[in-house]
């Protein structure tokens, strides 16, 4: 597990209203279906990611299928970090 993975897990857990443990989150985890995220939690997570990783998402890159899947979201962050 790399630093990006650990930080993102912490953000996902802290924004979830459901009691979540680290072991429950993997690359296939769907934030809405598996962790009961609602729209406000998604927005708060996006803001926390932007603040933590010091970048902003472009509106056109906010694909719900990508940002609600842990693995896809992690890959998007890694790609964003390597392009800045």
Q: Could you tell me the pTM of the whole model?
A: 0.90
Those residues whose C-beta lies under 8 Å from the C-beta of residue 68, and which sit 6 or more positions away, are 30, 31, 32, 37, 42
Domain extents for the chain? 3-83
Which pLDDT tens digit goes with each residue over 11-51?
999 999 989 988 899 999 999 999 999 999 999 999 999 99
Can you say whether the dihedral through the CA atoms of 24, 66, 63, 49 is positive or negative?
A: positive
From the options 1.10.260.40, 1.10.1200.10, 3.40.50.1860, 1.10.3720.10, give the CATH code of 3-83. 1.10.1200.10
């Amino acid at each position: 597990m790399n630093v990006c993975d650990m930080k993102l897990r912490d953000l996902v857990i802290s924004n979830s209203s459901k009691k979540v443990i680290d072991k429950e989150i993997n690359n296939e985890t769907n934030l809405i279906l598996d962790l009961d995220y609602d729209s406000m939690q998604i927005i708060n997570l996006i803001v926390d990611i932007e603040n933590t990783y010091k970048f902003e998402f472009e509106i056109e890159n906010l694909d719900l299928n990508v940002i609600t899947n842990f693995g896809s979201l992690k890959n998007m962050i890694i790609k964003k970090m390597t392009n800045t």
